[in-house]
């Protein structure tokens, strides 16, 4: 594992994106109520388009070839993630660019500015799913 490549994969750079706005609050509340999913507020985030992955099998199970990496969790409704924890999600079930990223079990509210970039599946698989901030 080459640490420089891993650091570049999750670095806060790429195409700048805006997170969820206050206008999205009503939608987020209704989506959480509708799905019963946990919710998580994340800052310092990167949307990753996964390269070199076969999208057809993912689509067949309702997944998109994108994942979220957050350098810091602010809160998680069920406490599964701790404040300050770094996380890499599984594949998205929904992402519409409004600062709301959804997986099979969690609705992530993306706070502040983030980024979008492409990373190979081989490199992404080397990024831990969870880690604590130094």
Alpha-helical runs (H) found in the chain: 3-10, 25-35, 55-60, 121-124
Q: Which of 48, 131, 47 is nearest to 82 (CA)?
A: 131
> What are the pLDDT digits (tens) for 75-130?
999 999 999 999 999 999 999 888 999 999 999 999 999 999 999 999 999 898 88
Q: What percent of the chain has pLDDT over 70?
A: 96
Q: Would you state the pLDDT for residue 128?
A: 86
Domain residue ranges of the chain, discontinuous segments joined by + = 3-132
Query: Radius of gyration over alpha carbons of the chain, in Å?
Result: 14
Is the pLDDT at 2 greater than 90, yes or no? no
Mean pLDDT for the stretch of residues 23-46: 92
Q: What pairs with residue 48 in β-bridges? A: 67, 117
pTM to 2 decimals? 0.91
Cα 35 from Cα 61, distance rounded (Å): 17
Is the pLDDT at 28 greater than 80, yes or no? yes
Q: Would you state the pLDDT for residue 27?
A: 86
Pairing of strands 15-18, 106-110: unpaired
Q: Would you state the pLDDT for residue 76?
A: 94
Q: Would you state the pLDDT for residue 22?
A: 85
DSSP 60-78: HTT-BSEEEEEEEEEEETT
Is the pLDDT at 132 greater than 80, yes or no? no
Cα 22 from Cα 47, distance rounded (Å): 20
Are 54 and 81 spatial neighbours (Cβ–Cβ below 8 Å)? no
Alpha-helical runs (H) found in 36-126: 55-60, 121-124
Are 85 and 73 spatial neighbours (Cβ–Cβ below 8 Å)? yes
């Amino acid at each position: 594992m080459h640490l420089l490549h891993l650091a570049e994969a999750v670095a806060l750079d790429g195409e700048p994106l805006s997170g969820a706005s206050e206008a999205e609050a009503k939608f987020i509340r209704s989506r959480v109520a509708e799905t019963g999913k946990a919710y998580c507020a994340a800052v310092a985030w990167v949307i990753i388009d996964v390269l070199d992955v076969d999208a057809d099998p993912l689509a067949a199970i309702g997944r998109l070839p994108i994942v979220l990496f957050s350098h810091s969790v602010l809160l998680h409704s069920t406490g599964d993630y701790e404040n300050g924890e770094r996380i890499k999600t599984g594949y998205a079930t929904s992402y519409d660019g409004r600062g709301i990223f959804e997986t099979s079990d969690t609705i992530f509210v993306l706070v502040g500015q983030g980024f979008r970039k492409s990373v190979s599946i081989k490199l992404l698989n080397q990024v831990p799913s969870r880690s604590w901030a130094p």
